[in-house]
């Protein structure tokens, strides 16, 4: 029961109020003091780390603009090679990447949408509800956070066989919409919202659903968007379940398609890297735009995807 | 959802106007909100768990022959199965060599970024971006980096005159290579957790310490690190559990090889169940593994600092 109490509740309710100033300004003299040397050393260390982390991306990008023949010639130095878009052209000619990207967007989008609807409703029900069995149901839900999804693979596969859903979008989506962790995070948030507002609306004759929709949800926008971000990243990157449940290349998600079918690239490293760049781009671009919000999301939920 | 909307207001009016009707309403308040979740929870969480337990006591397989109840045979077999022990050993080894850098490096990175050097968004992007990659993109990139003749690492070694290393083909290196890849890929999340925690340390603590003449190191060890202890417990807990569940990247890159030296327990379960078609036995191993996860979780919770307030 107490397993996930790690969500740092104190940071939840007033998250917006407590950030007094942009983080860029804070920190420096507090951690380092005012000397010059420490700053130089810290900057150097940070630079080395960042370089190590960026290097694989750089190497990937460079490779993707080379020709296959150049790469496989011995003693080849990618940095000096002539640039070409051939690899990208070949990847597009195969035509599989857009299909997988579409499947990923579709399934991850639906997983996120359904998860948010189910989880916010359930979390609100758990937070405000008084129905019998509420505590027991909540306890079971919270306990299930510990269950590793891999434990369910074999029986879930059988279940999908029985439902005749193997190799369908729904088979990919349905098991992923059960997100007890998100229910728990949302419930903690709802618990912290004062009830006075809701009572007032109720006296005016609003139904429970109405109260939830027009009062509670608008107040919860930050946490709901945080949870959405993590559910989406999780579903977008999920590998094992979609891998087990789909064998039709037209239904595969990006990670599954790349890992299984693109094995056919074999030694075609330029194409392989071009495909990697194309598959990596969407989420990284999204992150560039929503950086601040995503960083804040981690702070508000205290937890995230898988 | 529309059914909930139509039903709730009825009880609402009854409960709102007269006091005696309130208990009847109370018994159901919130039920309809929880119901849709409960249905999928039952279908895709509870039922598979129950089904899996049942399966682990049978000799069920993906082939069409009948299924028989075999009692604890599967469990007994698992305890005597050297592959279970070796894959479990691999999993623990991976967990140890991945958790340590994933926690310590994340802390260092967050501290360094928090010093407020220019270009904050560049640092954050650099460390967090890999976390956004799907596993197959990560494995494609690293397969190429680890490539024996042309890969970045061996080319770099070649430049300084060191013989090339079989990053994925040498048993002595393969697991370390997988750990390095995993650190690169997933450290961003721990980094962000630490960064968020650092930002919530009140400035007044530092100001007070500075007034008392505490130096930078002193402030680090007496204020910053203690203030981060709760986050560290959280990060370690999450990381240990995540590392124990390693499967995807190893399965894609080495299929557990060379010689089974990188095969984690989850891959063995997958091999037994979906390649060997022995669903009953696979379930039994799954539940043994789950028992380990529960034990580890409980053990870690005991180290959890009590919550204040």
Test B247 with A150 for CB contact under 8 angstroms. Answer: yes
Q: Identify whether the C-beta of residue B45 lies closer than 8 Å to the C-beta of residue A159.
A: no
A236 in any annotated domain = yes
Same-domain status, B118 and B32 = no
Same-domain status, B24 and B167 = no
B296 in any annotated domain = yes
pLDDT by residue (tens digit) across B215-259?
777 778 888 888 888 888 888 988 998 899 899 899 989 888 788
Mean pLDDT over each residue of chain A, to the nearest integer: 80
| The pLDDT value given to residue B222 | 80
Same-domain status, B85 and B204 = yes
Is the pLDDT score of B130 beyond 80?
Answer: yes
A107 in any annotated domain = yes
Q: What angle do CA B26, B27, B29 make, to 5 degrees?
A: 60
| The pLDDT value given to residue B309 | 33
A14 in any annotated domain = no
Q: Which residue of A20, A25, A117, A155 is the best one to mutate when testing the B interface, meaning the one whose CB has the most B CBs within 10 A?
A: A155
| The pLDDT value given to residue B203 | 78
| The pLDDT value given to residue B299 | 85
A76 in any annotated domain = no
CB of B72 within 8 Å of any CB in chain A?
Answer: no
One digit per residue, the tens of pLDDT, for chain A of length 306 reads 333 333 333 333 333 334 444 443 444 455 666 667 777 888 888 999 999 999 999 988 888 888 877 777 766 666 677 788 888 888 888 878 889 989 999 999 999 999 999 999 999 999 988 888 899 999 999 888 888 888 888 889 889 988 999 999 999 999 999 999 899 889 988 988 888 888 888 888 888 888 899 889 998 888 888 888 889 988 988 998 999 899 888 999 998 988 876 555 566 788 888 888 988 888 888 888 877 777 666 666 654 333
Q: Which residues of B touch A121 (CB under 8 A)?
A: 1, 33-34, 36-37
CB of B128 within 8 Å of any CB in chain A?
Answer: yes
Same-domain status, B189 and B228 = yes
Task: Take residue B91 and report the two structure tokens written for it.
Answer: 């999993």
Test A56 with B145 for CB contact under 8 angstroms. Answer: yes
| The pLDDT value given to residue B21 | 45
pLDDT by residue (tens digit) across A134-177?
999 999 998 888 888 888 888 898 899 889 999 999 999 999 99
Q: Identify whether the C-beta of residue B62 lies closer than 8 Å to the C-beta of residue B279.
A: yes
Q: Identify whether the C-beta of residue A295 lies closer than 8 Å to the C-beta of residue A222.
A: no
Same-domain status, B44 and B183 = no
CB of B275 within 8 Å of any CB in chain A?
Answer: no
Q: How many domains does chain B fold into? A: 2
Same-domain status, B127 and B13 = no
Task: Take residue B125 and report the two structure tokens written for it.
Answer: 């992007």
Same-domain status, B83 and B182 = yes
Long-range CB contact pairs, B226-233, < 8 A, 24+: B227/B197, B227/B201, B228/B107, B228/B194, B228/B197, B228/B198, B228/B201, B229/B305, B230/A8, B230/B197, B230/B305, B231/B193, B231/B194, B231/B197, B232/B103, B232/B107, B233/A6, B233/B300, B233/B303, B233/B304, B233/B305
Q: What is the CATH number of the domain that holds B147?
A: 1.10.3720.10
Task: Take residue B161 and report the two structure tokens written for it.
Answer: 């005159």
Same-domain status, B105 and B191 = yes
| The pLDDT value given to residue B36 | 94
Q: Which residue of A259, A271, A305 is the best one to mutate when testing the B interface, meaning the one whose CB has the most B CBs within 10 A?
A: A259
Q: Which of A193, A180, A149, A60 is nearest to B144 (CA)?
A: A60
| The pLDDT value given to residue A114 | 97
A11 in any annotated domain = no
Q: Please give the residue range of the domain that contains residue A291.
A: 95-301
pLDDT by residue (tens digit) across B179-196?
999 999 999 989 988 888
Residue B273 three-state SS: helix
Q: Which residues of A touch B43 (CB under 8 A)?
A: 159, 174
Same-domain status, B174 and B285 = yes
| The pLDDT value given to residue A176 | 94
ipTM of the complex: 0.79
% of residues, chain B, pLDDT over 90: 31
- Prior bond of B258 cis (ω within 30°): yes
C-alpha B250/C-alpha B143 separation (Å) is 11
Q: Identify whether the C-beta of residue A160 lies closer than 8 Å to the C-beta of residue A171.
A: yes
Residue A105 CA: distances (Å) to CA of A242, A245, B130: 13, 17, 19
A55 in any annotated domain = no
Position with higher pLDDT, A252 vs B201: A252
CB of A306 within 8 Å of any CB in chain B?
Answer: yes
Distance, in angstroms, between A222 CA and closest chain B CA?
16
Alpha helix segments (H runs only) across chain B:
2-17, 22-26, 31-41, 47-56, 73-80, 82-114, 120-128, 135-145, 152-159, 171-199, 203-211, 216-219, 225-227, 229-244, 248-254, 265-270, 279-303
Same-domain status, B38 and B158 = no
Same-domain status, B173 and B231 = yes
Q: Which of B238, B280, B11 is nearest to B102 (CA)?
A: B238
Position with higher pLDDT, A122 vs B118: A122
| The pLDDT value given to residue A126 | 93
Q: Which residue of B50, B74, B130, B136 is the best one to mutate when testing the A interface, meaning the one whose CB has the most A CBs within 10 A?
A: B136
**Can you give B146-192 as a three-state secondary structure string?**
CCCCCCHHHHHHHHCCCCCCCCCCCHHHHHHHHHHHHHHHHHHHHHH
Q: What is the CATH number of the domain that holds A169?
A: 1.10.3720.10
Q: Please give the residue range of the domain that contains residue B146.
A: 75-303
Same-domain status, B81 and B205 = yes
Task: Take residue B14 and report the two structure tokens written for it.
Answer: 């009854």
Residue of A nearest to B137 (CA): A276
C-alpha A233/C-alpha B308 separation (Å) is 33
CB of B109 within 8 Å of any CB in chain A?
Answer: yes
A281 in any annotated domain = yes
Q: Which residues of B touch A77 (CB under 8 A)?
A: 155
pLDDT by residue (tens digit) across B2-28?
334 433 343 333 434 444 444 555 567
| The pLDDT value given to residue A116 | 96
Mean pLDDT score, B34-41: 94
C-alpha B229/C-alpha B231 separation (Å) is 5
In sequence order, what are the residues at sequence separation of 6 or more whose Cβ sits closer than 8 angstroms to the Cβ of residue A69?
none
In sequence order, what are the residues at sequence separation of 6 or more whose Cβ sits closer than 8 angstroms to the Cβ of residue A143?
A1, A3
A6 in any annotated domain = no
B62 in any annotated domain = no
| The pLDDT value given to residue B6 | 39
Task: Take residue B136 and report the two structure tokens written for it.
Answer: 């197959």
pTM for this prediction: 0.82
Mean pLDDT over each residue of chain B, to the nearest integer: 83
CB of A293 within 8 Å of any CB in chain B?
Answer: no
Q: How many domains does chain A fold into? A: 1
């Amino acid at each position: 029961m107490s397993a996930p109490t790690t969500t740092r509740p104190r940071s939840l309710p007033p998250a917006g109020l407590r950030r007094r100033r942009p983080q860029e300004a804070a920190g420096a003299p507090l951690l380092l003091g005012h000397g010059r040397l420490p700053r130089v050393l810290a900057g150097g260390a940070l630079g080395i780390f960042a370089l190590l982390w960026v290097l694989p991306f750089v190497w990937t990008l460079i490779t993707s603009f080379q020709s296959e023949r150049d790469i496989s010639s011995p003693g080849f130095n990618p940095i000096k090679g002539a640039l070409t878009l051939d690899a990208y052209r070949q990847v597009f000619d195969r035509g599989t990447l857009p299909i997988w990207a579409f499947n990923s967007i579709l399934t991850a989008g639906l997983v996120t949408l359904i998860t948010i609807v189910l989880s916010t409703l359930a979390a609100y029900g758990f937070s405000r509800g008084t129905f019998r069995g509420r505590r027991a149901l909540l306890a079971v839900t919270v306990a299930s956070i510990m269950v590793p999804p891999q434990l369910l693979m074999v029986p879930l596969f059988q279940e999908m066989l029985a439902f005749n859903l193997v190799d369908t979008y729904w088979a990919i989506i349905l098991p992923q919409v059960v997100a007890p962790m998100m229910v728990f995070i949302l419930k903690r948030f709802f618990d912290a919202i004062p009830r006075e507002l809701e009572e007032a609306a109720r006296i005016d004759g609003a139904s429970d659903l109405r109260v939830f929709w027009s009062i509670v949800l608008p107040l919860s926008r930050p946490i709901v968007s945080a949870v959405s971000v993590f559910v989406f990243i999780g579903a977008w990157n999920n590998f094992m379940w979609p891998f087990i449940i789909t064998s039709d290349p037209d239904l595969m998600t990006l990670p599954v398609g790349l890992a299984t079918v693109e094995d056919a690239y074999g030694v075609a490293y330029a194409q392989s890297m071009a495909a990697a760049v194309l598959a990596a781009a969407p989420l990284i671009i999204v992150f560039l735009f929503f950086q601040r919000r995503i960083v804040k999301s981690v702070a508000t939920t205290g937890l995230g995807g898988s | 959802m529309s059914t909930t909307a139509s039903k709730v207001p009825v009880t609402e009016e009854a409960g709102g106007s007269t006091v005696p009707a309130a208990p009847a309403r109370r018994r159901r308040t919130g039920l309809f909100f929880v119901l849709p979740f409960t249905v999928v929870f039952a279908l895709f969480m509870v039922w598979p768990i129950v089904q899996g337990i049942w399966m682990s006591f049978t000799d069920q397989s993906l082939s069409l022959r009948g299924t028989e109840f075999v009692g604890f045979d599967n469990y007994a077999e698992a305890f005597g199965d050297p592959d279970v022990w070796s894959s479990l050993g691999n999993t623990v080894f991976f967990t140890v060599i991945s958790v340590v850098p994933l926690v310590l490096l994340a802390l260092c990175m967050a501290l360094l970024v928090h010093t407020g050097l220019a270009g904050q968004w560049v640092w954050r992007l650099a460390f967090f971006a890999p976390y956004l990659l799907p596993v197959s993109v990560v494995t494609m990139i690293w397969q190429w980096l680890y490539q024996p003749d042309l890969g970045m690492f061996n080319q770099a070694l070649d430049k300084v005159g060191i013989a090339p290393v079989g990053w994925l083909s040498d048993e002595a290196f393969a697991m370390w290579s997988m750990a390095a890849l995993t650190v690169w890929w997933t450290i961003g999340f721990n980094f962000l957790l630490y960064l968020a925690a650092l930002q919530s340390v009140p400035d007044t603590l530092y100001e007070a310490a500075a007034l008392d003449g505490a130096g930078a190191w002193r402030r680090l060890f007496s204020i910053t690190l203690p203030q981060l202890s709760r986050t560290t417990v959280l990060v370690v807990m999450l990381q240990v559990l995540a590392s124990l569940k390693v499967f995807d990247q190893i399965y894609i890159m080495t299929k557990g090889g060379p010689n089974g030296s990188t095969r984690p327990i989850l891959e063995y379960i997958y091999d037994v169940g979906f390649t060997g078609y022995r669903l009953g036995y696979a379930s039994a191993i799954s539940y043994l593994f789950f028992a380990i996860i529960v034990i580890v979780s409980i053990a870690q919770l005991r180290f959890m600092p009590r919550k204040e307030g």
